[in-house]
A and B are shown apart, each in its own frame.
Chain A
């Protein structure tokens, strides 16, 4: 299993905590998936309410590691400040770094991402950058100090699966030793299995579980698919070919024509 800054989970599913019908269903989904890492965020809180405190209590009771994000940040400055606040609140150097470039696709601003990744890595953060499948950008992120890369499958929340299979495959081939996680755009367990079959080290998803009719059941379905995909990768899949190749031996067949 891959090492994410020294942490080697048995289960390569990273689960988001947003958009569930209730906190109880979120807790059930986390338990049933067997995930060891959940993503969390920060939002404004007024002095009178305690919504954030109750949520944090729920997560702590689940006993999983947290990966705070910088969701909704459009500038390097915002992302860096959010990361600093997250490190203090959640007590972890891990940060899922998002610097968003534009609203329609929530595509990463890879230029800002590289700059923010360097600032945060130099400051002792362990950065999980939400990026694209661009190999050159990936190399710059590694140069900036990132020891994990998280390319998108498709735009956040779109459920489209792996939009650029070729790009993700070449990224895997180009960086055989960097832990790679497909983050965002996964809609079905088969999408997750496909990424694992390519040799990816993990899957980060949220909406596909949270907005399913039965989130805990879907969480388990993803865990099973991810396990199957990983096992398939380790078992070394055959190459696809255009023409048929008989699987039943021809030799010794009775001549009946």
Chain B
């Protein structure tokens, strides 16, 4: 199915958020996630099933003021 990952369309095979993160190379990374604008805690990623067109945001630490 096609998802929007950080605003860009991506074709993915995984069914859950945890599977998709692993598929996209985020395994072991310190990141936080949101699906369709709602925060998904790390411990819930394996339970969240994704649907066609879902908007996934993956963020990491960055410099800030």
What residues of chain A have their CB less than 8 Å away from a CB belonging to chain B?
16-20, 26, 39-48, 50-53, 55-56, 59, 68-69, 71, 77, 81, 84-86, 88-90, 156-157, 206-207
Contact = CB atoms under 8 A, between A and B. Distances in A.
B31 A89 contact: yes
Interface string B52-65: 00000111111111
B32 A52 contact: no
Contacts of B63: 16-20, 26, 40-41, 55
B11 interface: no
A187 B58 CA distance: 34
Residue with the highest number of chain A CB atoms closer than 10 Å, among B24, B29, B63, B64: B64
B62 A43 contact: yes
Given A81-B34, A85-B34, A50 B62 contact: no
A39 B65 contact: yes
Given A43-B59, A44-B58, A56 B64 contact: no
A85 B39 contact: yes
Nearest to A39: B64
B60 to A, nearest CB: 3
B65 A53 contact: no
B30 A53 contact: yes
Nearest to A204: B65
Interface residues of B, number: 27
A187 B20 CA distance: 45
Contacts of B6: 44-46
Contact of B65 (A19, A56, A81): A19
A52 B60 contact: yes
27 contacts: A16-B65, A18-B63, A18-B64, A39-B64, A40-B61, A40-B63, A41-B61, A42-B64, A43-B62, A44-B57, A45-B31, A45-B60, A46-B6, A46-B24, A48-B25, A50-B29, A52-B61, A52-B62, A56-B60, A69-B65, A71-B64, A81-B34, A81-B37, A81-B39, A84-B32, A84-B41, A85-B32
Contacts of B26: 47
A18 B61 CA distance: 12
A203 to B, nearest CB: 13
A206 B6 CA distance: 27
A45 B65 contact: no
B61 A90 contact: yes
Interface in B34-50: 34, 37-39, 41-42
Contacts of A81: 34, 37-39
Nearest to A43: B62
A19 B58 CA distance: 22
A118 B26 CA distance: 33
B33 interface: yes
Nearest to A52: B60
Interface in B10-31: 21, 24-26, 29-31
